[in-house]
Chain A
């Protein structure tokens, strides 16, 4: 083991086929890729050849965290789970899911930076990691059980301080649209069935160790306080959503929804969020109530408290108590989640009798959370719900199902917005029951293929939000112009990048955003007003590149890219500047590895480059510009009929997008004709071996 702090120092390897486990030295094997997705991509590159299928025993599933996990760095609770993605269409390729909670920290305290799982157990098992003790246990008693039951059963064995990541029946049944969930509500989408294919029900981790910080204690504490001072609310929104005496600005759409008089109505005692002004760093946890943000103001009265991940003051999960659902639906009155978790149930329905934010919508949220988080069904950033709604209202479901199966669903309940309908639908998806249950669990691409529907047509419907390769857009061109488009082209699932959107939605007025953008990306043209997009500019390519590299850095350090980066802050005296070097400052002090911002960004670029190489190798073509970086038709259309770059139009210009691609590839040192990285670029990042392997298969640009 080296003298570095931050890292636990070992990567745990487990072969479920043989029952053998062993360790590798993290620094020797993986330091150049930090951790998290970096370790994940490196393992996939080294050990999983092209042509491997997601459910092959040879596929790896890598639970990896970074050198900041388990330290006191704010927002360090993310675990990256990397594997071959079963919903990636038409060919499974590498991708990552990300779960919060306490798993990342516990894994580090147990002494590991990652768990690499290969092979396939001969019967259902769960993996127990109790510090250095690693055991594979029989899971037949919990196989077939929901995630909550499995989690409880393992916690009873390992103790209350253990953390459990488990799959539900959906993952066991090899439903591609399935998740793994830690601490019963922190999900990583898309990978449940890969665990299921290995007969791995769950991983329980108990860690009693600690993480060494290389720097001086006082310097570390000072840095943590500084970072905390830069934090805004959820998604680093830096102004409140209502006018408040301390605030110079407000924006009704930010997630800073605390204010004097806002109360957690279901807490044991009266809790008023208060104003939570920027300097009140001990009250950051009160700034956001994500249930109220997503479900509506009536969620305040049902709020018990916030919840979230290790060392994160932004409590992006909200615990709700809705006693009515117990009597009405027979489910627990208390549930917790965030964002898409809250929207899961209600997004299946077009309308509710008492409006979009009434009690029925709230009940649909509770039912959806209860079922999806127990069955382990993934929604693919709500593409499942959008697909379902379109298929039903277009009459496709009726046409494709036999009348017996079609009539087995209570469609009148569905049309009336009755949450009870979810009890008919979701268990059948998890159980692959019937044609509809099976097809919805495939993921959009494979679903369209099975039912003979056109992916191109799917990509024309802007409201469907479908992007490509079986997955939807994730903060793309409609809200972030060319920058959002470029980011969304890069991955093999929805992009999950928040670097750009957290800045664009931070609530600061556009002139201030432009001022900060000029400092960070070289020109104010990097950002446009919403629906007032301007032609491509070099600074937009820089912003897109920066956004992607920060995402990969965060995913590899275990920082949360849903909360960061922190380049804007709520602090007026700083001109609302954040600090673009916070990641490198944390990394340097924690590990003792003397890297500044530029050097650490290069590591992020190396990680991103390896993802691109994996994609090229997996697809067997270097022609990425044509075959991978594909743009759905809705990007170029607008209901207004106006030409692009007029106010109120959100579509882009076809020629301008080609300019955007040129500039973006140039910024990354990639070949403009193919969109593939050049040999020189691989060399620059010490990846000659990767280049050579690709060249051997004619996968390098000429």
Chain B
């Protein structure tokens, strides 16, 4: 049993028969695919099915489906997720992504998955999660830092777009007395509370070292 499935789309999809794995002749291929997922996770990255052919090395066995056996990489990935305790699939608006929790937590994987879904969703989901689970607004600055790595001007542009999209109408901004902009979700934080927290996080806390 895997330890967590606390994100949309996380968990197993393939429901092949357990006995199949015992007679499968592709263990080495499976091992290499699983290893690629783990390596990417160790580097702090997710992996998609489409990336795997590019990462396939010459010394590996022939790439799946190259021999016409019929099982494509998607099938292998589904089976690997089913069979390996550490491997997970994330699906949502973007391409399905895979990671190993030996090297990456579900929370981090979720951020990376939202990043792959696009900057608007990355910003919105990060803000919502912080507002909901941690009861705090998020300073705009954090989106300029790893792993978000957005440019400050870009962030301003994205926020302008978000203000006219209904799906993001819960994401609002407030600013501290030191002019730092904070974002929060009205679905999870009340305005007065968010304003007080922004002031505390940016100004008050610094005066209480």
Binding site for B on A (CB under 8 A): 242-249, 251-253, 259-261, 294, 339-340, 343, 356, 382, 465, 473-475, 478-479, 509-510, 529-532, 640, 642, 646-650
Contacts and interface: CB of A to CB of B under 8 A. Distances in A.
Interface residues on B, range: 35 or more
24 contacts: A243-B107, A243-B108, A244-B44, A245-B42, A245-B44, A247-B105, A249-B134, A251-B134, A252-B201, A260-B146, A465-B207, A473-B208, A478-B200, A479-B204, A479-B205, A510-B134, A510-B135, A529-B135, A531-B193, A531-B197, A640-B192, A640-B196, A646-B192, A648-B196
B68 interface: no
Given A260-B146, A261-B146, A248 B105 contact: yes
Contacts of B193: 531-532, 647-648
A246 B200 contact: no
Interface stretch (B23-31, B54-62, B79-87, B137-145): B137-145
A370 to B, nearest CB: 19
A480 to B, nearest CB: 10
Contact of B139 (A252, A260, A646, A648): A252
Contacts of A474: 208
Given A340-B209, A649-B196, A253 B108 contact: no
Chain B, interface SS category: helix
B209 A343 contact: yes
Interface string B80-112: 000000000000000000000001111110010
Contacts of B145: 242
Q: Which of B41, B193, B207, B208 is the most central at the interface, judged by chain A CB atoms within 10 Å of its CB? A: B208
B165 interface: no
Nearest to B4: A248
B13 interface: no
Q: Which of B108, B196, B207, B209 is the most central at the interface, judged by chain A CB atoms within 10 Å of its CB? A: B209
B196 A245 contact: no
Contact of A339 (B41, B195, B205, B209): B209
A25 to B, nearest CB: 40
B36 to A, nearest CB: 16
Contacts of A246: 103-105, 108
B107 A530 contact: no
Contact of A242 (B146, B206, B207): B146
B200 to A, nearest CB: 7
B139 A642 contact: no
Contacts of A479: 200, 204-205, 208
A355 to B, nearest CB: 9
Contacts of B133: 509
Given A245-B44, A510-B134, A252 B107 contact: no
B164 interface: no
Given A248-B105, A339-B209, A530-B135, A253 B201 contact: yes
Which 7 pairs between the two chains have the least Cβ-Cβ distance? A648-B192, A648-B193, A647-B193, A648-B196, A245-B104, A245-B44, A531-B196
A510 B134 CA distance: 7
A253 B205 contact: yes
Given A243-B111, A243-B147, A531-B196, A647 B190 contact: yes
A249 B194 CA distance: 20
Nearest to A343: B209
Contact of A509 (B134, B195, B204, B208): B134
Contact of A245 (B108, B138, B190): B108
Contacts of A509: 133-134
A234 B59 CA distance: 47
A248 B195 contact: no
B1 interface: no
Contacts of B104: 245-246
Contact of B135 (A252, A473, A532): A532
Contacts of B107: 243, 247-249
Contacts of A294: 206, 209
B178 interface: yes
A251 B195 CA distance: 18
B62 to A, nearest CB: 31
B196 A650 contact: yes
A531 B134 contact: no
A479 B201 CA distance: 11
A279 to B, nearest CB: 13
Nearest to B133: A509
Given A243-B111, A245-B44, A247-B105, A648 B142 contact: no
